[in-house]
Amino acid sequence: MNSPLPIAIIGLGNVGTGVAKILTQHPERITQRAGRPIEIRRAVVRDLKKSRDVELPAGGLTDDIQSVINDPKIKVAVELMGGIHPAREVMLALLEAGKDVVTANKALLCVHGDEIFAAAKRLGRTVCFEAAVAGGIPIIAAVGQSMAANQILGIQAILNGTTNYILTEMLFRGQSYADALRDAQTLGYAEADPTLDVNGTDAAQKLGILAQLAFGTKVSATEFHVTGIDKLEQVDIKHATDLGYVIKLLASVKLVKTRLEMSVRATLIRRDRPLAQIHGPFNAILLDGDVVGNVWYSGRGAGQLPTASAVTADIIDLAIGRAQLTFAQLDLWRTTPEFPLIDPLQASSRYFLRLSVEDRPNVMAEVTGILGRHGISLATIIQPEAPEVEAGSTAVPIVPLIIMTHRTTAGSLAAAERDLDRLGSVRSPRMVLAVAD
Amino acid sequence: MNSPLPIAIIGLGNVGTGVAKILTQHPERITQRAGRPIEIRRAVVRDLKKSRDVELPAGGLTDDIQSVINDPKIKVAVELMGGIHPAREVMLALLEAGKDVVTANKALLCVHGDEIFAAAKRLGRTVCFEAAVAGGIPIIAAVGQSMAANQILGIQAILNGTTNYILTEMLFRGQSYADALRDAQTLGYAEADPTLDVNGTDAAQKLGILAQLAFGTKVSATEFHVTGIDKLEQVDIKHATDLGYVIKLLASVKLVKTRLEMSVRATLIRRDRPLAQIHGPFNAILLDGDVVGNVWYSGRGAGQLPTASAVTADIIDLAIGRAQLTFAQLDLWRTTPEFPLIDPLQASSRYFLRLSVEDRPNVMAEVTGILGRHGISLATIIQPEAPEVEAGSTAVPIVPLIIMTHRTTAGSLAAAERDLDRLGSVRSPRMVLAVAD
């Protein structure tokens, strides 16, 4: 029997408690898999008085992070504080103190990954982050190890369970966005402040980590197109369904010659595609490798136990010594990326437009004329029958106009949108969604 | 730069050529991922004169396996001969000679895995076998590493691309089994002798390896229920479709209390389940872990490049030193399995029966009476309208009778089948298929 591996868990929230449970409730299993016992020597919490759902060794609970940083016996620290500050400072101090770190902190890695990884490499330490992207899916191992013979050509993914749950409720139960969000909050799938989930930031951070891993390209969320689902209306879901599509918050990165096209946005996906069939709080990832072709993963992206499963696998990898070898070999956060991002205005896509237009002669000609002048050709155009006008009303009735375009650049579309805005006959709101190939 | 890793490839067939291509066509990529160049020092072939689709270093080709075994510079041997003899003897000699081995040989591992793995452990060597199961899907890494925090509770999988291609053609093109098989052979999805694919042996060998990895249980294909798709008729596909199911060759192992229920058989899967939607030559695997829940994988299971991708990932893992750590930790081929197999007659399932019965009074009562006496309760019973009898015919018309049962044991069903055989009114052929939960 090898000597135990003493670890510290920093943050005993939902995931931290899950990790502590796995380690304390299944010690034989973990010892067998890791080749040595894993011992929780400290757990750092904010409130020592709060009652905990897990039994820790006496004296293990502390509210003093320094007691971890300064304890040379602790070899591995599991950072589950979340957020960027003070998580960044804590992470750097842990590395400086000679500890390997396991983290699920996607925001921190997306924003300060280059600094943290450089510090770890300089100090000969290892950072494990399987849990930072799509908790239950071992996507970091897949990209970093299993696809090692491949140049990855593209990644298409559903990386945010909250929005996927909301979209599923809107699709199958006909709920409004607001009602579906409230239900998601009640069920614990959405946080009290859901902003970072519903506006696409969370998915963009995860996609940023995947892009760095797969292409060595550091991207900040301001450099590529990121939108969420918070403006979607039930009528968009319905029009998409009528056209044979399902709307998902799609995170996508694709190698086009030597440049990356990257986006996170509500996207129409053909109903028969695998990603269109991922419902509820699940995540899914489709990888395209130049040797292996398409490989597909799906599982729970968040939640206490799926995320804790990934964190624990990382701890076991460190106990075995495998994670150290993997980390030394990962070519992350290069200073000169091989594949820079394409200018977002040059990225091309098919688009779904829902316009509100005045129901009078010539409007259709005006709208299609503008699109045509910007070189945008139309695949489908649907003007649903207008509601009957109330007798005596003198207002011009407003009707929806649904357009699916062929492939065009974001720049052309933006220029066409500016011209549409100048047209008195096109009113707000306007909905513009991408359509996946 | 670390020193190159000299390897030998034994067998330059389809997969061996693929591996050689990846290594020779992308040397910078492989060197970067492996931390050192990987150098093909020898490739062993049967026929030195055959023209090859890949460029090897001059003098690298040999028909003498001893020149690999006796070359101390070769650290890693890639065994792609296939078959059991002499692959077993070659593998043992390579390990004895101090080489680590990468293999895609599922038949060898299923039958002699215990001997080979014990030899490797005794000699301090490593055997890598990611390519042996579902080539394009990194399932060995998933079970052996990523799910390390979990007790796996069950695996359901489509592990044979040939039969899945045939079933897909029968489903979507209405082909007979024989026609679909012939097309699969023409397209290279089935071999000239497809026996081991269509009778379930290939899938059973792969499931055997997964069961050993996930449960530490060594199983030979005679200890569990293995049948293929070679008796299926188009009418079975049609009846399954009418009932809302798709027929797949399902490989399944499930932990029931402390025993394993394991089978490979043509199985009705509800149309809306993910496994029912895996078509063509693809493989898919659904893992159920006690911590992470369900995780789902899909990709190409065979073919030159997907399999070569897995072999190359194993070579890279050996070059880095990661595979050695993983192998030392895998608890494979235990002598006393924690979870023994259940007696196959005690295994329970729902069943689909297609009987050919005489179209005369009382037959339905006789058949359902027999099932009832064996405690088998019926979920659905369909007797399609009989074809019109030709005027003047005196033969009793034979009509199909389709029955879906509730859950029952294989033993009860076998006993009922024996009683049905004694009934003059039930004729051959009879089709019995499992129905997935």
Q: For residue A221, which of A247, A189, A199, A195 has the smallest C-alpha distance? A: A199
The CA-atom distances, in angstroms, between B341 and each of B72, B208, B218 are 42, 12, 9
**What band does B225 get if pLDDT is binned at 50, 70 and 90?**
very high
Mean of all residue pLDDT scores within chain A: 93
Please report the pLDDT score of residue B395 as a whole number. Answer: 77
For strand B5-10 and strand B76-79, is the pairing parallel, antiparallel, or unpaired?
parallel
| Half-sphere CA count of A243, side-chain side, radius 13 A | 27
**What band does A332 get if pLDDT is binned at 50, 70 and 90?**
low
CB-based contact (8 Å) between B142 and chain A? yes
CA dist A162 and A7 (Å) reads 31
Please report the pLDDT score of residue A333 as a whole number. Answer: 58
CA dist A374 and A381 (Å) reads 17
Q: pLDDT tens across A356-399, in order?
A: 999 888 899 999 999 999 999 999 999 877 666 667 777 788 89
What's the whole-number mean pLDDT along residues A194-202?
A: 96
As beta bridge partners, residue A253 has: A155, A262
User: Cα B349–B350–B352 angle (5° rounding)?
Assistant: 130
Residue B430 predicted with pLDDT over 80: yes
CB-based contact (8 Å) between A158 and chain B? no
For strand A38-44 and strand B398-405, is the pairing parallel, antiparallel, or unpaired?
unpaired
**What band does A132 get if pLDDT is binned at 50, 70 and 90?**
very high
Q: For residue A272, which of B239, B159, B279, B167 has the smallest C-alpha distance? A: B279
Distance from CA of B90 to the nearest CA of A (A): 26
CB-based contact (8 Å) between A128 and chain B? no
What's the whole-number mean pLDDT along residues A314-326?
A: 96
CB-based contact (8 Å) between A2 and chain B? no
**What band does A220 get if pLDDT is binned at 50, 70 and 90?**
confident
Asked whether the ipTM of the predicted complex exceeds the cut of 0.90, the reply is: yes
Which residues have a Cβ under 8 Å from the Cβ of B222 and sit 6 or more positions away? none
Residue B83 predicted with pLDDT over 70: yes
Please report the pLDDT score of residue A275 as a whole number. Answer: 94
Please report the pLDDT score of residue A389 as a whole number. Answer: 64
Residues of B in contact with A131 (CB under 8 A): none
Chain B contact probe: residue of A292, A305, A322, A339 with most B CBs at under 10 A: A292
Angle separating helix axes A304-320 and B322-329, nearest 10 degrees: 110
Please report the pLDDT score of residue B387 as a whole number. Answer: 67
Please report the pLDDT score of residue B335 as a whole number. Answer: 58
SS3 A99: coil
Please report the pLDDT score of residue B360 as a whole number. Answer: 84
Residues of A in contact with B149 (CB under 8 A): 22, 26, 30, 33, 308-309, 312-313, 316
Q: For residue A202, which of A230, A180, A168 has the smallest C-alpha distance? A: A230
Q: pLDDT tens across A61-97, in order?
A: 999 999 999 999 999 999 999 999 999 999 999 999 9
* SS3 letters across B256-318: ECCEEEEEEEEEEEECCCHHHHCCCCEEEEEEEECCCEEEEEEEECCCHHHHHHHHHHHHHHH
Residue B333 predicted with pLDDT over 60: no
Distance from CA of A106 to the nearest CA of B (A): 19
CA dist A148 and A137 (Å) reads 18
What's the whole-number mean pLDDT along residues A295-318?
A: 95
Angle separating helix axes A106-123 and A201-215, nearest 10 degrees: 30
What's the whole-number mean pLDDT along residues B97-120?
A: 94
Question: What pTM does this model have?
Answer: 0.94
Residues of B in contact with A327 (CB under 8 A): none
What's the whole-number mean pLDDT along residues B381-398?
A: 77
Q: For residue B157, which of B79, B77, B248, B87 has the smallest C-alpha distance? A: B248
Structure tokens at A98: 């000679």
What's the whole-number mean pLDDT along residues B4-32?
A: 95
CB contact under 8 A, A292 and B274: no
**Exposure pattern of A18-28 as b/e (b: 16+ CB <10 Å)?**
bbbbbbbebee
Please report the pLDDT score of residue A196 as a whole number. Answer: 95
Contact status, residue B297 vs residue A296, Cβ threshold 8 Å: yes
Residues of A in contact with B277 (CB under 8 A): 274, 277
Contact status, residue A266 vs residue A232, Cβ threshold 8 Å: yes
CB-based contact (8 Å) between A299 and chain B? yes
| Half-sphere CA count of A195, side-chain side, radius 13 A | 1
